[in-house]
Amino acid sequence: MHLSFQKPIPRCRVEGEPSISVEDLHQLHETEALFHSNWIRLQIEELLKEVKVNGKKELELAEEVIACIKAPASIKEVTRRRLKKAGIQIPLPILMTTEDEDMGIPASSPIDHLITGSAILQTAIKQHRNVDVAFFVPPECLHHRDFLNHEYLQKRALYLGFLAYKLKKAALPFALKFAFCDDISYPFLLVAREGNDSALEKHHRCVVIDVLPPPEYFKDSRFIPSRNNVRPSWYSTGFDVDLDEAEEIGTPHYNALISRDLTMRHCRELLVDRFSNNSALQDALILFKVWLLQRDLLHGSYGMSGFQASLLFAYLDVKRMVNPQMSSYQILRNAWNFLWETDWSKTGISLFPETQAHEMQPTIDDFHKHFDVVFIDPSGFHNVCAFLDRCSYHELRFEAHQALLCLDNHHSEAIEVLFTSQSPFLLRHDTYFKVNIEEPLQLLLQLGGAEKALDQGPRNLHHATCQMVTQLLTKALGNRIRGMGVLRGMNSLTWSVDEKAPEFSCTFIVGLRLDPTEQLRIIDKGPAADSHQALEFREFWGERSEWRRFPDGSTCEAVVWVEERDAVLCQRRVILPNIVTYILEKKAGLQPCFFLLPLQDILKNPPYRGTGEEESLAAIQGLGELRKKLLELSDLPLKISSLQGVSPVFAYSEVFPPLPGLAEPSIPVSMKSSSCATLTGNLLQAPDWLPPLKALIRLETSGKWPDDVEAIRRLKAAFYVELSKRLRKSRCLCHALPDRLWIVLARFVFELRVTFAGEATVHQKERDSTGFLRLRETPESRAVTKDTVAKPYLSSALHSSRTRSRFFFLSLQVEHLCWSTGVRLCKRWVASHMLGPPHVPWEVVELLSAHCLISSHQFPTPASPEAIFLRFLQLLSYHDWETSPILVNFNSTLSKEDVREIRNHFDKQRATLPPVFIATPLDRYASEWSREVPTPMILRRLASLAQSALALLTSSSVPSDFKVLFYPILDAFDVLIWLRHSQLPRRREALLDEGTSICTPQPLQSSQDSYCIPIVEFDPVQCYLEELRGLYGELALFFHDEHGGDVIGVLWKPDAWKPTEFKVLCPLLRSVKSMEPMQ
């Protein structure tokens, strides 16, 4: 067979059609390999354009400053007194008043200068566009033994004051301020244009002046960590502290302050060599600094400074972990991965070439003996992370790990979460407390830290005391926490040059990331009672330690924090704060202040044992008993396939769960008839609120259900009657109504309704004018779908996969024990500001809270109710509802393709979607729960209130009474309607109701003749509100706190007072203004 091949016809390029170059193909291939989508790559490019700056104006300012400083001075000698007369205060407290007051140095100009930092590397960001200039002190201003006893630091501060004096006397006007970074013994001088003091406050758009010793003036080996450069005798004489017993051990912290100045040139040379002509490395560093800035970690003392970050990226380049062909995204990802996978607290890293080591060269192990974290600079003598404590370093590693997870998660908007959204310190932790140390020196001596006091100086002990306290807490808390962060509190970071250096208080905030289960442990098991470790355990825990025999037969030392084995969840949550308080009081004499711990008291109701979780569990167990009883019934017309709870209490989200017991009615006007209690006559006091626990009975599939809605209702009523007869035979108290069945079991009142598959479809059927049957969505069908499909789904998703449902989701409450209290705090806050239903459906609050718990990639998964509440407020305050949907992905049911489809649908149909769009695995495109409410006005109100509450909770002056967060602001309403307190059935739930007498619920008797079904779901306030909204809903909005609120707020609608055309049938609240027809 002969095969002929035809030459393919070449495709002719249409005129004007863009051609694809090799670079375009390479970029497309890189995008496919490195990014989840081309949109992420575009976002990174736009972000770099937004944050990168050229720093031209700042460099011009730096040149002017350098010229003024190099000019000859008008004085010959610099002393404290002379500078003080000129209006310059030395930015360092006097250490030895008898000698340092008269200390003087020649008024010589600097011998040279260096421009360092991000300006020379072209890695400045818009928020920190500074120019760092280092001036070399003339040799005649120093002595070769000034490295001893803080002499160099004193002269350095004196010379820095001299530079401030020259700039103040210069012809060009400058704004001057002193500042410090990492250490108050190491000040800087900030210079900006006159009138730009705000830039100095923010360390932004200014020149940062540093002072360095002359090159090779001091020997590098003099400042290795093991050398001593502060004599105990000098320290004891100057500050009346007995350190005679302290040996001449190393002063690593003091040595690091000076070695940083000595090795600055080596670091600058390396950084310039590695960053020059490497735009990808520069862009990656810029992105890394923006990431640090958004997390408030761009600090060397409890994060990573820009200088340390530059050296980190230089290290990656030196070790060939990155190469010039990599994109900025690849380099940044490698940096995060390197941070997470390496542990510098155990195995440090070094930029010093090992081939150049000599006898006097310290090793990495030498640095590990004196520092928590080790990163050696190119000289080999300085630890770049000398001032970074272990806790803060591990927090940095954890944030790097979170960034990697965010990049790998296809559901998150990685660029927004990592670079544009703020992640404050207080929101990244589950709980936090403040520690104020009034006498840090005495505390260090008490804790055995005399060497640290000698090393860091008497007025610079905040770093050492913070380190000692965190080590103490780490040992005490153990695996109860997953991480600890420290935020050092400073009174001021900058001060005027004519003011004395401020006395910084030793105050810091400790944030804890909790282990969800271990934090609730009631006993800490120690070593065996006869072991050598038992003595150390008893010395640490003191009188709290005792012998305990455990079920495995061992006798060990133990600390028991709660004696009751059946301690409620609320009691278990305070174990960790009790441990912190006990240890700090016993070991250090400190009293920590926990900020958010009293929040859970909002949910405490006197009849409850705790905050309500146990009452919710009792209701769920009651539902289980009822399910068992119903499934045992036989000879029913249709078999019951399942019983599913739909009340919020079954999802652990009822703010105040009903009590597992019913009180005997104490109202004189009430009487009993048949099986239900009824009310007659005038009510002098409303009965206590008692909601029924609602559940759905699902019947087996049958084709005999009629297609008529009214016939279905009648069949259901007959089923209720038949079911009540069967239950009475088993001595159950029940009462059948046309549309429901009330049953009393396990001391609860249950409200049962029947549903079957396809019921919503029946409500959608209607006949058109031609007689054809068609399906159309109606308000009735939507309501039936919500009640029979959406609510059971939501309850099962929020509660437990064990609930009989066709949806299988993991339980939020079982996996996250903080869920119940957290979501109820959110609901109580919304209700307290009178924004509950109908303005904001409770399902919307529950879904937003669930999003904060399981679907938010901005913060780690919370492990405390307070963290859920704070992140709920953060979501309301700053979420962009117009451009970002809320995804609640229960059990990771939504795949990558599903999320993409939801986002595409949201972008295309945004104009027709509700203001708050919430997508779940069942409701992906319609957002049924927020279809009509909240409105944009209510959403703005929520955001405003949330911002105020969040600002108060994250400020240093936390209120002593957290109830102020839950007091409604009544100034926003036009009319206030005050209600009688006696007619409020939920008065026990009110925040201000402290003197109301509460009757203790009495359990029901077994005989159905002794008791009847009490008054359930009776709330005259809600009845009054329904009448108001029915009559005047077109004119005003009505607001009320359903949890015992005694006021109704009325807000007029904008068109309420506008004149309208007269209508005979609608003269509601209108008066005739004019008989003339309107134009």
Among 166-175, 438-447, 1058-1067, 1070-1079, name the one with the lowest average pLDDT: 1070-1079
pLDDT band at 6 (very low <50, low <70, confident <90, very high): very low
Q: Are strands 207-212 and 183-193 parallel, antiparallel or unpaired?
A: antiparallel
Alpha-carbon span 259 to 377, nearest angstrom: 10
The conformational region for residue 834 under phi > 0 = left, psi -120 to 50 = alpha, else beta, is left
The answer to whether residue 822 scores a pLDDT higher than 90 is yes
Burial 13-22 (b: 16+ CB within 10 A, else e): eeeeeeeeee
Alpha-carbon span 762 to 768, nearest angstrom: 15
Cβ-based neighbour number of residue 117 at 10 Å: 22
Is-contact 677 664, C-beta < 8 A? no
pLDDT band at 545 (very low <50, low <70, confident <90, very high): very high
pLDDT tens-place string over residues 602-652: 898 877 778 888 899 999 999 999 999 998 888 888 889 889 888 999 889
Q: Are strands 131-136 and 112-116 parallel, antiparallel or unpaired?
A: antiparallel
Amino acid letter for position 54: N
Alpha-carbon span 205 to 207, nearest angstrom: 7
Residues facing 486 on adjacent strands: 510
pLDDT at 622: 93
Which whole number is the average pLDDT over 26-50?
Answer: 72
What the block records as the tokens of 1018 is: 């009776």
Query: In sequence order, what are the residues at sequence separation of 6 or more whose Cβ sits closer than 8 angstroms to the Cβ of residue 908?
Result: none
Is-contact 916 886, C-beta < 8 A? yes
Is-contact 209 188, C-beta < 8 A? yes
Of the candidates 987, 1007, 1009, 1001, the one whose C-alpha atom is nearest the C-alpha of residue 664 is 1001
Query: In sequence order, what are the residues at sequence separation of 6 or more whose Cβ sits closer than 8 angstroms to the Cβ of residue 336?
Result: 400, 401, 403, 404
Query: In sequence order, what are the residues at sequence separation of 6 or more whose Cβ sits closer than 8 angstroms to the Cβ of residue 595?
Result: 431, 432, 433, 434, 953, 958
pLDDT at 239: 52
pLDDT band at 661 (very low <50, low <70, confident <90, very high): low
Using the structure block, give the residue that is written with the tokens 């003269």.
Answer: 1067
Using the structure block, give the residue that is written with the tokens 């936090």.
Answer: 432
The helix-helix angle for 252-262 and 151-169 (nearest 10°) equals 40
Among 110-114, 944-948, 994-998, name the one with the lowest average pLDDT: 994-998
The answer to whether residue 300 scores a pLDDT higher than 80 is no
pLDDT at 696: 93
Residue 1032, CA atoms < 13 Å, CB-side half-sphere: 16
Q: Reduced to 3 states, what is the DSSP secondary structure of residue 333?
A: helix
The answer to whether residue 910 scores a pLDDT higher than 90 is yes
pLDDT at 382: 93
Which whole number is the average pLDDT over 140-147?
Answer: 90
Is-contact 693 619, C-beta < 8 A? yes
The answer to whether residue 1060 scores a pLDDT higher than 80 is no
Is-contact 414 577, C-beta < 8 A? no
Which whole number is the average pLDDT over 418-435?
Answer: 90
Residues facing 978 on adjacent strands: 1047
Is-contact 527 537, C-beta < 8 A? yes
pLDDT tens-place string over residues 57-92: 888 899 999 999 988 888 888 888 888 888 898 888
Using the structure block, give the residue that is written with the tokens 């050296």.
Answer: 311
pLDDT at 457: 74
Q: Reduced to 3 states, what is the DSSP secondary structure of residue 575?
A: helix
Phi, psi dihedral angles at 507 (to 5 degrees)? -130, 135
The answer to whether residue 392 scores a pLDDT higher than 70 is yes
The answer to whether residue 767 scores a pLDDT higher than 80 is no
Which whole number is the average pLDDT over 274-297?
Answer: 93
Alpha-carbon span 781 to 930, nearest angstrom: 17
**What's the start-to-end Cα distance of the chain, in Å?**
92
Which whole number is the average pLDDT over 491-495?
Answer: 69
The answer to whether residue 358 scores a pLDDT higher than 80 is no
Of the candidates 899, 940, 897, 893, the one whose C-alpha atom is nearest the C-alpha of residue 916 is 940
Alpha-carbon span 653 to 842, nearest angstrom: 9
Alpha-carbon span 161 to 167, nearest angstrom: 10
Share of the chain above pLDDT 90, in %: 43
DSSP element (H, E) containing 919: strand 918-919
pLDDT band at 1065 (very low <50, low <70, confident <90, very high): low
What the block records as the tokens of 867 is: 């963290």
DSSP state of 122: T
Mean pLDDT (the chain, rounded): 84
pLDDT at 996: 47
Cβ-based neighbour number of residue 773 at 10 Å: 9
pLDDT tens-place string over residues 555-607: 999 999 988 767 888 889 999 999 999 999 999 889 998 888 888 888 988 77
pLDDT at 999: 47
DSSP state of 852: I
Cβ-based neighbour number of residue 221 at 10 Å: 13
What is each CA distance from 14 to 10, 21, 23, 653, 936, in whole angstroms?
12, 16, 21, 64, 49
* Domains and their CATH numbers in the chain: 53-218 (3.30.460), 431-522+561-594 (3.30.70.3020), 851-935+944-970 (no CATH), 971-1052 (no CATH)
Cβ-based neighbour number of residue 971 at 10 Å: 5
Alpha-carbon span 971 to 1039, nearest angstrom: 13
Where does 217-296 have alpha helices with state H? 232-239, 252-262, 264-275, 279-294
Alpha-carbon span 606 to 12, nearest angstrom: 84
Which whole number is the average pLDDT over 1036-1040?
Answer: 96
